[in-house]
């Protein structure tokens, strides 16, 4: 059985009319050049108990992903992470900010592999087991494609990953006039 604290993450945001809907956020671990709106991840996303990446919420989710996919290594502290957050508790006043705690339901990590400033490669896609089959990976991949000029999704793929990618191929580029 997986430790449920692996998926715990906290963030600050304005009060939402529907506090319990999934929340999209992100973290630019390369150069902090990308804006992810008014959802601000708390320090526990990036720092574990010892004050570094090891044991952080994103590191723990990366380790679960590594085991599930049977990879040699987890995603690590780089790239741009798009996150799907599922709130479980919230507190705050009318004027905000509101403080949320919840579960990390999934992530997509994109990379600038050719170092040209454009994040064109999806390196990792993961959805927590309890959240699978709800469209989370599809929403995250669509968000990555809308924000970045994604041209590839890196392999190797798990069997489920290959089926997922064949079900949501990259949109075709419209012909140039």
The pLDDT confidence band at residue 125, using thresholds 50, 70 and 90, is very high
Determine the pLDDT at residue 1.
39
Give the domains, in start order, of the chain with CATH numbers.
4-167 (3.40.630)
Contact by Cβ (8 Å): 23, 15: no
Q: Which residues of 91-129 are buried (b: 16+ CB within 10 A; e: fewer)?
A: eeeeeeebebbbbbbbbbbbbbeeeeeebbbbbbbbbbe
Q: Dump pLDDT digits (tens) for 68-93.
A: 888 777 788 899 999 999 999 999 98
The stretch 104-114 carries a mean pLDDT of 94
């Amino acid at each position: 059985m997986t430790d449920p604290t692996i998926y715990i993450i906290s963030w600050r945001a304005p009060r939402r009319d529907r506090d319990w809907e999934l929340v999209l956020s992100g973290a630019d671990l390369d150069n902090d050049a990308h804006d992810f709106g008014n959802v601000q991840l708390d320090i526990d996303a990036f720092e574990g108990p010892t004050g570094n990446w090891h044991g952080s919420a994103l590191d723990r989710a990366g380790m679960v992903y590594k085991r599930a996919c049977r990879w040699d290594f987890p995603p690590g502290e780089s790239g741009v992470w798009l996150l799907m957050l599922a709130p479980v508790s919230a507190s705050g006043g009318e004027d905000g900010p509101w403080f949320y705690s919840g579960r990390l339901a999934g992530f997509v990590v994109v990379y600038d592999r050719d170092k040209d400033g454009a994040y064109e490669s999806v390196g990792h896609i993961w959805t927590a087991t309890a959240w699978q089959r709800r469209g989370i990976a599809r929403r995250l991949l669509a968000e990555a494609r809308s924000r970045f000029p994604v041209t590839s999704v890196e392999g190797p793929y798990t069997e489920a990953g290959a089926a997922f990618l064949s079900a949501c191929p990259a949109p075709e580029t419209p012909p140039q006039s």
